[in-house]
A and B are shown apart, each in its own frame.
Chain A
Amino acid sequence: MVTCINDALFPDAGRAVVRLLHRLGVDVEFPAAQTCCGQPMVNTGYLDEAVPLLRTFVDAFDGYDAVVAPSGSCAGSARHQHAAVARRSGDPGLVAAVERTSPRVHELSEFLVDVLGVEDVGAFFPHTVTYHPTCHSLRMLGVGDRPTRLLRAVHGLRLVDLPEAEQCCGFGGTFAVKNADTSVAMGADKARHVRETGAEVLVAGDSSCLMHVGGLLSRQRSGVRVMHLAEVLAATEGAA
């Protein structure tokens, strides 16, 4: 489950997941029928519009041992919202299919640490990095310190703490445009904290949040680069 935003806008994050999982000996497939988990519609209130996406989702992923997503938000949507949308559809078949697929969805750091049981993924990334725990990975999924344990095990990487790390960056899906002023006020504070760390790279597990904070950091000519957690974990000597 590469997620629609990575598929269409940030393919490097998706490719990094494939490279990383191959290196760890996982048999990876990309079911081409997949599109979007439906979260943008659900969180904006368009449940009827989300139902067809849910059908596509279960058609694409039913039958796999594990569905790995490089996103806390999309994994959270699949695990915590799909059941309610399926009930709304009134289709018992869809409800049953969601009951099968939802529990098999893992956010990337959960899959690496809990399912594969690895922390040192053999990555090399000789840069100073700070990590933003995205809200849905932190509070909806409860990934805890899995991402930072993975990052600390990366060779050459120096991890610096982000002040007020657990405060939301302000992306919030359609909130970013429906309440653009508030969203940017939150993002500006997040970007300020990122700059205070002196890090070269801001890392997070959600490309959507990175698009928002990264968009501000780049507009400010801060020189700070944003990278998905998967890209850092996939990096190896020579490639970094």
Chain B
Amino acid sequence: MSATFVGMPAFPMAAREALANSQQRRNLAHATSTIRAKRAAVVSEVDDWEQLRLAGAAIKDNTLLHLDEHLLRLEESLTARGATVHWARDAAEACALVADVARRHGVDEVVKVKSMATVEIGLNDALAAEGIAAWETDLAELIVQLGDDLPSHILVPAIHRNRAEIREIFLRHMAEAGRPAPTDLTDEPARLAEAARLHLREKFLRAKVAVSGANFAVADSGTLVVVESEGNGRMCLTLPEVLVSVVGIEKLVPTWADLDVFLQLLPRSSTGERMNPYTSTWAGVTPGDGPQEVHVVLLDNGRTRALADEVGRQALRCIRCSACLNVCPVYERTGGHAYGSVYPGPIGAILNPLLKGVGVDEQTDSLPYASSLCGACFEACPVRIDIPSVLVDLRAQVVDAHRPSRKPEALAMRAASAAFGSGARLGAVERLSGLAGRLLGSRGRTAPGGRRLLGRIPGPGAAWTDTRDLPRPPAESFRAWWKRTGGRDE
């Protein structure tokens, strides 16, 4: 794979490109509105949904509060059950650990369960550099991989593609990676799925090493959990001889009983199903059944940095359901690539700066601003991450990281702060703007209702007036009217 998020432009520029892609706009509007309706229907039938959300948030918060203890407990129980536990501080360490396992078994390919953590660390490229092919087996990840594309959604990485495009990708590229697509392939979902099934089957049966992530890791029992829809995960988790799982350290839940809450919250929030088709759980090695060599890589890669952020640490509650993406009016229009990360949408807008730190690169610093702060994400989040509040806090961190700034925006904010410093000063500014409005006389258009409109404003104001009308400043401000009449002239 050569596609990469590295070097992506800041959000406003990337969004401008994406907004011009009319096919993608249609695909996303259709897909997100369908999944929004499904989610709303299955969430509304749960009477204690709000209690479940509160419970989910509380379990995650308590776990994060004592994360060190729970992690050691997990390592202990995993080791006791025959797994080998590795600790990775960053992406490079994690990739090296996985590559090392593959190399020791002398394989040139691994099969992969859909996993955000492995995409986050760029595992496929790292393995390719070692001459090891990593085959994605999730249908949407397969579409992305075959198309040399980038994922644009957490749950449905190929959400930006429609059926016709998928047919085209299969016909053109499946042969390069293994069994070709049938030449008479149509864009019927059942035919597309069958082509993928046949293509993947030979990989499942051949591969000696599998790589997965985990949706949850139970500290008490040393159980890892993968929740999926297609059954490809079950194949990867049971057929190969060796299994390596890359698990973010925030995936922990203390006990098996805690899973109860999340297995109710996750499917309804993500796919809009009451229950997902496949839930696989495993703990270490079971002699004679499934992989006989099991490795678990516990991944930090910025998570402890996020944990240190008082407001932002709630982002580590995230269970990667994608509900916030599906309800986000920004995501619906720009799609996921504009966010320049494997984690797009509202959660990506906070998670990326929290994991990478602010004030480091322009692209990451642009993400907290990629939101109108409408709050739909917070409302949908199954673990009650207050994304708008975290966005606003991260914006303050971005601004503070660049102080003192001479950017036009910073100067404008300082000027506005001064103008708004007292009612008298604001009144003076209003008298000037009212005068300017009057000087324009009766030129220009009129809005419905009779207000005179301003023409095009030069400079940064053009970002408004290029696309939207703006009323001319009124001759008399409210303040001036009140002073003149005491509020009693009508």
Tell me the A residues contacting B by CB distance below 8 Å: 2, 4, 6-12, 14-15, 18-19, 22, 28, 30-36, 38, 40-47, 49-50, 52-53, 56, 60, 81, 135-136, 138-140, 166-168, 170-187, 189, 211-212, 214-219, 222-227
Q: Does B291 contact A (CB under 8 A)?
A: no
Question: Which of these, B333, B376, B416, B481, contacts A182 with CB under 8 Å?
Answer: B333
Name which residue of chain B comes closest to A179, CB basis.
B12
How far is A197 from B441 in the complex, measured between Cα atoms in Å? 35
Residue in A closest to B405 when the chains form the complex, CB atoms:
A46
How close is A107's CB to chain B, nearest CB, in angstroms? 15
Interface range on chain B (Cβ under 8 Å from partner): 35 or more
The main secondary structure of chain B at its interface with chain A is helix
How far does the Cβ of B197 sit from chain A's closest Cβ, in whole Å? 37
CB distance from B423 to the nearest CB of A (A): 5
> Is B217 among interface residues, defined by CB-CB distance under 8 A?
no
Residues of B within 8 A of A135 (CB): 372-376
Residue B172 is within 8 A (CB to CB) of chain A in the complex: no
Tell me how far the C-beta of B485 lies from the nearest C-beta in chain A, rounded to whole angstroms.
Answer: 9
Q: Tell me whether A49 and B423 are in contact (CB under 8 A).
A: no
CB of A49 to closest CB in B, whole Å: 4
Bound Cα distance A82, B174 (Å) = 57
Interface residues of B (CB under 8 A from A): 11-12, 15-16, 19, 329-330, 333-334, 368-376, 378-379, 392, 394-400, 409-410, 413-414, 416-417, 419-427, 429-430, 433, 445, 447-449, 453, 460-461, 463-464, 466-471, 473-474, 476-479, 481-483, 487-488, 490
The answer, among A168, A178, A223, for a CB contact under 8 Å with B369, is A178
7 pairs, CB–CB < 8 Å, chain A vs chain B: A11-B478, A44-B395, A46-B399, A53-B417, A56-B420, A177-B463, A215-B470
Instruction: Identify A28's interface contact among B368, B395, B433, B487, CB under 8 A.
Output: B487
B-chain residues with CB within 8 Å of residue A34 when the two chains form the complex: 423
- Bound state CA distance, A5 and B379, in angstroms? 28
B375: chain A residues at CB < 8 Å are 135-136, 138-140
**Given contacts A44-B395, A181-B19, A218 and B329 within 8 Å (CB-CB):** no
The one of A31, A167, A223 in contact with B329, judged by C-beta atoms closer than 8 angstroms, is A167
Closest beta carbon of chain B to A14's beta carbon, Å: 4
Q: Give CA–CA (A218, B477) in the complex, Å.
A: 23
Q: Is the CB of A219 within 8 A of B478?
A: no
Determine the distance from Cα of A146 to Cα of B410 in the docked complex, in whole angstroms.
38
> Which of A11, A38, A50, A172 touches B371 (beta carbons < 8 Å)?
A172
* Known A40-B416, A45-B396: A9·B474 in contact at CB below 8 Å: yes
Residues of A within 8 A of B397 (CB): 45
**Cβ A175 vs Cβ B373 within 8 A:** yes
Once A35-B422, A182-B330, A218-B448 are accepted as A-B contacts, the answer to whether A49 and B471 lie under 8 Å apart by CB is no
